[in-house]
Structure 1
Amino acid sequence: MTQYHVLIPCAGSGSRMQSVAPKQYLPLNGKPILRHAIDIFEAIPAISRIFIVTAPEDAYWSDDLLQGCHKTEVLSCGGDSRAASVYQGLQAMATYIDRDDWVLVHDAARPGVDAVMVQRLIDAIRPTDVGGLLALPLADTLKRADTTQHVAETVPREALWQAQTPQMFKAGMLQQALATHLHRQPTDEAQAIEWAGHAPKLVLGDLKNLKITYPHDVAVVSALMQATQSEQDAE
């Protein structure tokens, strides 16, 4: 029986956050940013196992972060890029999972993911699909800048989507795509699959599934998550 697993690359330093600790360990609404996503996946029955891929020299990791978790384990094999961490994580996971199992790769700094989004992605991908990812259609007008930060052109936004995570693909196919194209430095798993000649499915994500990149993102994501919780409590 095909199973679903989660891989969370967690080896980045988050330099743009201008913080001492990597952003995935910073507090948000009472717990580390990373733990929010872990709790969501731990509570979803369809998810069999969760693998956190950390850097071998990660001085900020503490096993206390997984207190009470039953599906989650740590693989200390992260690389020098997101793609390298995912690839090396998949290699380490091969002992525990089947090549035809689905792997949902999720950013450690996207704490706003929820069970509704995850289930929407799982339900949207048929056995014959190559896989897919959560994403949002772009609503803003896009400008391409020249070398002096003046507008060079307006980019049509029709058919443009902003990629989110999880991104879900068969373990064997994703590992092979990354092995072949890692040298090209794909920015997400879908790009490696695209370079392998496939077309991943786009599945509607959510605004609160924002990736925390800059310091002000913490307050934005916190507010979006609290607003969603308030709406749920009122129902």
Structure 2
Amino acid sequence: MTPCTALIVAAGRGSRFGGPLPKQYALLDGEPVLRRTITALKAAPGIDRILVVISLGDDAHYTAATAGLGLSEPVLGGVSRQQSVLNGLEALAGAAPDLVAIHDAARPFVRPHDIEACLDAASVDGIDGAVLGIPLADTLKRVGEGQMISETVPRRDLWRAQTPQVFRFAPLLAAHRAAASLGADEATALTDDAAVAERAGLKLVMVAGSGDNRKITTTADLISDHMETRSALGFDVHGFAPGNAVMLGGVAIPHTHALAGHSDADVVLHALTDAVLGTIGAGDIGKHFPPSDPQWRGASSDRFLRHAIDLVSARGGRIVHLDVTIVCEAPKVGPHRDAMVNSIAAIAGIAAGRVSVKATTTEGLGFTGRREGIAAQAIATVELPGS
């Protein structure tokens, strides 16, 4: 997959929102909207960098919302959305990426697999960009003076555009530079980056997204639909084999042995995968990634956990918390705990504060006490739309 930089537009003021803060910094289920948006993008395969465009005077809000996410300094936006995007593109021009994904800060519900689908579509030869959207389902009416209906507008081939919108970087930058010289009336008509690209004659395709990828417009949008909370357990064991490191939580930890398994034998990620699958009654890891299938030989286990989380997302759910306890005599987990927390959080697309990694021993008892292997027990807590 072609690497892509995500440019998050967070410079708007949201006049219809009406809250004490701009909507991108308002809290959604206890987290700033912008942070939720960033973690959603970080969970998408192919996004290798994130840059945020903010408004003048929002530095403190931005710093609080992005603490611990490891982002670079934000870019200052302009007086219009088009100018804000152009400022962000110019900031990337020195080390230009092949692809750039433009995303609204106020769309925190985007699904990682939808982002991935847009990246794939934009990478096709002869295509300049891909736009996430959904086909119109409602009947459209044109209304005239006095709110009188004048006609029904055929909805065939009409779509509602969403973000992200993914483009080849160089053509989009050129299109935005050209649009910067437009008069006010023409510029007003360019309501998204696809419109800027269309004006420049770029070839764009539409990618089917999800209705869940809604944009927060008013304070009412911050109120979650009825959700139910589910929890499930996961447990896994792997014995030691010859080697010099073990994979735990996506982190390679030096050791006198490796762990034996068909994949990379990451006992932590396997237990977490089973826990997440359990919350939606989707079986266990072996059902989705059979050990008898040679394609999973030596596979990185982050793929397994991400798959399970994508299944939860596909049902309109989200991960609330992941907790894992590692049982072993060695290696020592403590020095690697923070790295494991950050690794799991990145794989799951959630804040590190929603991940817990603990360790214990069996006081010399059992197979772990005899240093024959490592066990892990995990619990996943998710929210899903109520039935």
TM-score normalized with structure 2 length: 0.55
2:158 paired residue among 142, 157, 160: 160
Alpha-carbon offset, residue 75 of structure 1: 2.5
Could you tell me which residue of structure 2 aligns to residue 111 of structure 1?
Answer: 108
2:54 and 2:77 in contact (8 A); partners too: yes
1:167-206 alignment runs, 5 A limit: 167-182=165-180, 183=182, 184-185=186-187, 186-206=190-210
1:1-235 alignment runs, 5 A limit: 2-58=2-58, 61-70=61-70, 72-98=71-97, 101-125=98-122, 126-182=124-180, 183=182, 184-185=186-187, 186-219=190-223, 222-223=224-225, 228-229=316-317
Distance in structure 2 (CA, Å) of the matches to 1:207 and 1:18: 24
Alpha-carbon offset, residue 128 of structure 1: 2.5
Runs of 5+ unmatched residues, structure 2: 229-314, 320-380
The residue type equivalent to 1:22 in the other structure is P
Give structure 1 regions of 4+ aligned residues with deviation exceeding 6 angstroms. Answer: 224-227
2:40 and 2:108 in contact (8 A); partners too: no
Please give the per-residue CA displacement for 1:23-63, whole angstroms capped at 9, x wherever unaligned: 00111112011111100122334111100001233265241
TM-score normalized with structure 1 length: 0.89
Sequence identity (%): 39
Alpha-carbon offset, residue 74 of structure 1: 3.4
Could you tell me which residue of structure 1 aligns to residue 303 of structure 2?
Answer: none
The residue type equivalent to 1:200 in the other structure is L
Number of equivalenced pairs? 230
1:113 and 1:208 in contact (8 A); partners too: yes
The residue type equivalent to 2:316 in the other structure is T
Runs of 5+ unmatched residues, structure 1: none
Alpha-carbon offset, residue 12 of structure 1: 0.6
Alpha-carbon offset, residue 179 of structure 1: 1.4
> CA RMSD of the aligned region, Å?
2.4
The residue type equivalent to 2:109 in the other structure is G
2:129 and 2:202 in contact (8 A); partners too: no
Q: Which of 1 and 2 has higher RCO (CA within 8 Å, sep 6+)?
A: 1
Please give the per-residue CA displacement for 1:78-104, whole angstroms capped at 9, x wherever unaligned: 011111100111011212334xx1000
SS for the counterpart of 2:117 is helix
2:45 and 2:116 in contact (8 A); partners too: no
Larger radius of gyration between Structure 1 and Structure 2: 2
Deviates most, 41-50 or 27-36: 41-50
Distance in structure 2 (CA, Å) of the matches to 1:108 and 1:83: 15
The residue type equivalent to 1:13 in the other structure is R
1:42 and 1:69 in contact (8 A); partners too: no
The residue type equivalent to 2:111 in the other structure is D
